[in-house]
Structure 1
Amino acid sequence: MTHTVNIFWFRRDLRLDDNAGFYEALRSKHPVLPIFIFDSEILDKLPKNDARVTFIHKALQGMRQTLQDEYDSGIAMYHGKPKEIYKELLKDFKIDTVYTNHDYEPYAKERDQEIEQHLEEHNIGFKTFKDQVIFEKDEVVKKDGDPYKVYTPYMRTWKEKFKTIDLEIFYTNSYLKNLVEHSRLPNLSLSDIGFETSQQHISEYEVTPTLIQQYEETRNYPAKDATSRLGPHLRFGTVSVRKMIKKAIAEKNEIFWQELIWREFFMQILWHYPHTEDKAFKPKYDRIEWRNNEEEFKKWCEGKTGYPLVDAGMRQLNETGFMHNRVRMLVGSFLCKHLLIDWRWGEAYFAEKLHDYEMASNVGNWQWVAGSGVDASPYFRIFNPTSQIQKFDKNHEYIKKWVPDYQELTYPKPMVDHKEARQRCLDIYKSAVN
């Protein structure tokens, strides 16, 4: 292909409409070649039946088919290290500019810097756009320019700032004719990238007016299954955050809206403090002498702690790739406080298992339960895994579903005594952080 093209690089934005970077690329003066790179730096660390890879692949094939059927175009698929792929692209195409959307995670920032530098050496532009959040980086900060470290004032400022903007939806339909006409762009099957179809299924999201209106009263009860399942769709961008915010506002539900703001709070924390990926936000919490007993960690992972609500959460996660948010807090607290196992172990396990895994939220929430993060639960707040049942699953519906053996003789005895474990935690934490 000798004529000049612009590239749009899909990443965490797997949709054709209301996609900021794609919209800008399509309105540029050159035909647009859409691409996706199955990044071997990321994929090589994943299990070969990872449900998220199946989900990404399926979403891309759907988009590719639409572009083929309606515009005689497609999405060019590649597998490898991004820089190596761009070297190949430079041989095959005359490229003016690469367009893509911002990604805020530490690895992504380094990757994009490397790609931008490489393209610059060939006089090729690299333009990136805000797409997966309403406000990013330092757009919501204190009056003195410092980042917020507490959610509530961040949320209030976020809402005030939101009143001053006109929320744009990026309708791409009338510009899709500016795609490269080329229906034989390279495609890849799951097996081409070394993966197999996962048996786990990522649910469709459900954001009905009823769910939003009842969100506050139902969201804490895991047996009700009254959550939106939006997580993976926001993570991989199969849905636009702008459209979700509009829905939340239309239904006038502050709580649902505030959950979306929590996501942006944790994203800006990771952007301002990238070291929190694997270091405590509050440095003194890295002095905690974790017990890190591997046998106990294994029992926690398998849902065999002898505490039914903890075990229900872990078994739900292992079987489905999802865990109810209320239960996530409990299992996280149990690992860090009852077993004194480093939050990073739990964070890594969730990273492997959770369909909606997003580094900023996962790290933020794990540091919250460990007491080491921003706006964290104080270290002396230790959930009682038995009384939590009375509060959130008193009829044992959730427990019966995931731990049907909880009243059998074969069900394990509690691996620690709550009272003793609580005291041990208080002593260890106190000696580290005081």
Structure 2
Amino acid sequence: MDGIQEMEGKEKIWNKNFIIACVANFLVACSFNLLMPTIPIYLSEVLEVPHSKIGIVLSSYAIALLLIRPFCGYWVDVYSRKPLFLLGLTVFIATFFGYYFATTVVFLVILRFIHGMSWGLATVSANTVAIDIIPASRRAEGIGYFGVNTNIAMAVAPYIAVMIYDSYGFQTLITCALFMGFLSILVVMFIQVPKRQRLDKIPPISLDRFLLLKSIPIFINQLFLAFGWGTLISYAVLYGKETGIQNAGIFFLFLAGGIVLSRVTSGRFVDRGHLHKVMVVALLVISLGFVGFALLHSIYFFCLSALLIGIGYGTLFPALQTMYINMAPGSKRGTANSTYLTGFDLGIGIGMLLGAYFGDHFGFEMMYLITAGFCLFALVYYWFISRPVFEKNKIQGNN
């Protein structure tokens, strides 16, 4: 049986290749996110690095992503996508071995940079392969299903990582990440990617092959939203420990719950033409969640804030990615994906760096209040700038 029977009259999303792509995406995202919340703890508790320098280590991978993402979009539009996916994965997994020997800040900065380069290629190619498999009429819904694997991994893996780190140490955590990474490579080998029409010639290198230029206003909007995600994945655990939460990794479980509750449903609403309503609701919920996270310091509000933020981002992700995809022709799908992912990379990197500065000078509570303010600004910006830009440049019947 190739897939799950869909409702009559609808094109099928859950075919064999899409299921394989989702499993692979989940495994590789888990391997990566096992280290995201634990590296700050390792740096702070073992290497005794101040918060400001922790931000430098964390943001080095984001800088690498910024450098490589635009080229990845060009490569996946021109060359075979599955080999590029496997190449990125292989380098990405091999880099984990370096963490066994990571005992200095400089070494970790270099290691994170290499990890960021390979992660960039793996994620752009993975997203583009998935979109090739998803029927155009159900694209936002399919993106929601595919992306929720990443988001669940981003939420569940840190919770598990904190428990492994506290019980068995950093070395064991690296071994777990390596194991999941090897499994992802094996799974990807079974994906059958749809054949694309062979290009008569390789397109000339130009700026619009690296960034979807007409989406730049939306890209700017995205930076304010990604800033918040950067502060969450980097400092939520440290913030929780400062406010007396025993296992602050529980934040990520509730974050995952919110993402799962909202992501797939929001994709269906987008496919039915309610894109702008979905975006406005998402931005309001995210802002409210950050305000609660900053001001209400008990385990109950800690978890409730995580749930709200998860619902907001889970609603936002497929809607925002669909905007980029629907503004690009099929021949620039990789460019659209790389632009979308680059927006998050840059915003997350800024969140890591400025978050460390704000945390050092004003405290994490003020940092998350500032984050809430950025999200409210993003809502106003979206309604008056991003929304008209999308309506002007969207491509009808894009497949």
TM-score by length of 2: 0.28
Query: Which structure has the higher relative contact order (CA within 8 Å, separation 6+)?
Result: 2
More helix by share: 2
TM-score, with length taken from structure 1: 0.26
Larger of the two Rg values belongs to structure: 1
